[in-house]
Amino acid sequence: MLKRLGLLLLMILLATLPLSAESEGDSVTPVEESMIPGGPENQAPSYSTTDGSWPITGTEGSTGLLEGVATSDGFFALSYMPDFSIGRFTFQFDVKIKGAYETEPFGVSLDFSDWKVPSRSEEQSLDEYTVDVLKHYSRFIRTIQYGERYDSLYLRFGKLLGITLGDGALVNGYFDHSVAIRSTRPGLELMLDGRLLGIPNAGFQFITNDVFKPTLTAWRLFSRPLSEYPEYEAIADLQIGLSFAQSPRLLDEQQRQLLGRKLIALDVSLPVVSWGWFNMDFFTDLLVQTPDSGESKPSFGYRYGLWGHTKSFFIFNTSVTVPTFGKYYAEYFSSNFEKRTAQDLEKLVIELGTSRLDAMLGLNFVREGVYLRAKMISNYTSGDYHDYRFIANARIDKRLFNIVSLDLSYEKLYPTTTGERFFEGLRTLNNVTLSATAVVKVKPYSFDLGLSILYDEQAQVTYKLDTAVRISIL
């Protein structure tokens, strides 16, 4: 009885904390008045031009989420996830405090072990120990971001969201789905204009989904070699790029070979539209993939199409991919590449004599933490289009209205046996898969929701719903 009473008192304490937390957020600057850089219409740095200071700004949704969890055995934990900006930097942290309580007599003790510097073993080198310390404290960081994509300098540390490398030949609209929606991962994305290093008409892009133990690492170098020759004015903006992506050779716990491949793309692109806020290029890629384990022959192909983007709000590409030799996999580094089975991998093979047509469109609402992707895929063989697929994804990475975070996906398949046309099929639920994980806030609770809905060829439905409830403060 006393133990239950102590648990009840602790939960009441956690539920009363929002009174002070919310009062501190009342004076936060609304998003319309803040100086956080946003879409293509606002790219200026957000520092003051009068005194040189970089003010802390935020929105009503950027005061953060404070949650408390307690169990009947005496354990409790507090997690605070603030969200704020300083100049062109934006931050999301995850600060945790845990402890225990007793009922006879009633008392509370805090455990700060997660905050302490990890001990160093005798056989550890200084480099190894430094990595351990960085890994230990990176758990408190959800994201740190400077600037926006396609700025002269853009940097993001945290879970990768909606990543496209160059024209999308190797990595196209990638979301890191390897960790749960509440969890983060120390990924890194970097875009750098070569002029900052004294190298004009060149640039560099780098991504990895985990700086400490990556399963995906990719980069792209590009240059405009004819820009300094006025006699080649018509093609002065011709761009040549080299892209590389790899994952280590690893087997998962069930011995399914999911990872372990190197991809290379040499691209040449020529601007079709070049405005101050929008660019569109025609491109051609030469593609190489290393062979599977047990095989000795690599695969080759080529790809061509159009791609373009605004500063950071909008990106698209549409292309035709043609394999010419070997076993070529389309979209090897898709968002779920770490979780797919060997059977899933086989479905990605483009047979020789078949062309793959695809189009991707992405929208990034950076200030709101909303990332949207839509993709259409089809195969073309001997004058016939077949195996249509339509995929849409939505990701919310911070609080928007009552949604704290969200991963939502829609996938529509068009098996050859159904004979459905593309737009006709979008009006039906045949062969549709819907999945969503979300954290929804309804004061003073937050709900962890997991939903999966599968419709077969006759639109018969199978679904699974998982929920969890937490005491939370917003």
Q: Please state the three-class secondary structure of 35-101 as a single string.
A: CCCCCCCCCCCCCCCCCCCCCEECCHHHCCEEEEEECCCCEEEEEEECEEEECCEEEEECEEEEEEE
- Identify the helix (H) or strand (E) that includes residue 251: none
Binned at pLDDT 50, 70 and 90, residue 16 comes out as very low
User: Kind and range of the H or E element at 176?
Assistant: none
Whether residue 443 lies inside any domain: the answer is no
**Domain final position from 340, 356, 372:** 356
Do 185 and 327 belong together in one domain?
yes
Same domain, 33 and 111: yes
The SS3 assignment for 23 reads helix
pLDDT tier, 249 (very low <50, low <70, confident <90, very high otherwise): confident
Would you state the pLDDT for residue 290?
Answer: 92
Looking at the domain assignment, is residue 28 inside a domain? yes
- Among 5, 11, 9, which Cα is nearest to 445's? 11
**pLDDT at residue 43 is higher than 70:** no
Distance of CA 335 to CAs 171, 188, 407, Å?
9, 16, 12
d(C-alpha 260, C-alpha 217), whole Å: 11
Cis peptide before 444 (omega within 30 of 0): yes
Residue 250 pLDDT > 80, yes or no? no
Q: Let me know if residue 426 belongs to a domain.
A: no
Per the structure, the count of domains in the chain is 2
Check residue 472 and give its pLDDT.
Answer: 63
Q: Based on the domain organization, do 231 and 337 belong to the same domain?
A: yes
Query: Per-residue pLDDT for 181 more than 50?
Result: yes
Same domain membership, residue 297 and residue 179:
yes
Do 274 and 174 have their domain in common?
yes
Range in 17-21, 168-172, 420-424 the model is least confident about? 17-21
Query: Rounded CA gap, 136 and 200, in Å?
Result: 39
Burial class of residue 217 (count of CB atoms within 10 Å of its CB; 0-12, 13-18, 19+): middle
Mean pLDDT of the chain: 81
* Lowest pLDDT segment from 129-138, 196-205, 289-298: 289-298
Domain assignment of residue 418, yes or no: no
| Same-domain check for residues 182 and 113 | no
The pLDDT tens digits for 268-318 are: 999 999 888 899 999 999 999 998 766 678 999 999 999 999 988 999 999
Q: Does 327 or 5 have the greater pLDDT score? A: 327
Residues 229 and 331 grouped into a single domain: yes
Indicate whether 255 belongs to any domain: yes
Q: Is residue 284 domain-resident?
A: yes
Judged against a pLDDT cut of 60, whether residue 375 lies above it is answered with yes
Which of 110-119, 288-297, 343-352 shows the lowest per-residue confidence on average (mean pLDDT)? 288-297
Tens digit of pLDDT for each residue in 32-41? 333 333 333 3
Distance, in Å, from the CA atom of 290 to the CA atom of 329, rounded to the nearest integer, reads: 11
pLDDT class of 252 with cuts at 50, 70, 90: low
For residue 331, the model assigns a pLDDT of: 92
Average pLDDT over residues 370-375: 93
More confident residue, 379 or 17: 379
Please give the Cα distance from 157 to 82 (Å, whole number). Answer: 16
Please check the confidence at residue 113 and state whether its pLDDT lies above 90: no
What letter does residue 351 receive in the DSSP assignment?
-
| In a shared domain, residues 29 and 68 | yes
Residues 191 and 338 grouped into a single domain: yes
Q: How many CB atoms lie within 10 A of CB 24?
A: 10
Q: Specify if 442 maps to a domain.
A: no
Whether residues 47 and 83 fall in one domain = yes
- Kindly report which listed range (6-15, 88-97, 208-217, 393-402) carries the lowest average pLDDT score: 6-15
Q: Is residue 238 part of a domain?
A: yes
The answer to whether residues 118 and 190 belong to one domain is no
Range in 50-59, 65-74, 214-223, 274-283 with the lowest mean pLDDT: 50-59
Least confident range of 267-281, 315-329, 334-348: 334-348
Same domain, 264 and 311: yes
- Considering 356, 376, 407, which residue would you say is the last residue of a domain? 356
* Structural domain harbouring 83: 2-122
pLDDT at res. 18:
37
Q: State how far the Cα of 372 lies from the Cα of 434, in Å rounded to an integer.
A: 15
List, in sequence order, every residue forming a beta bridge with 222; answer none if it has no partner. Answer: 203, 241
Which of 291, 326, 356 is where one domain is finished?
A: 356
Q: What is the pLDDT of residue 258?
A: 53
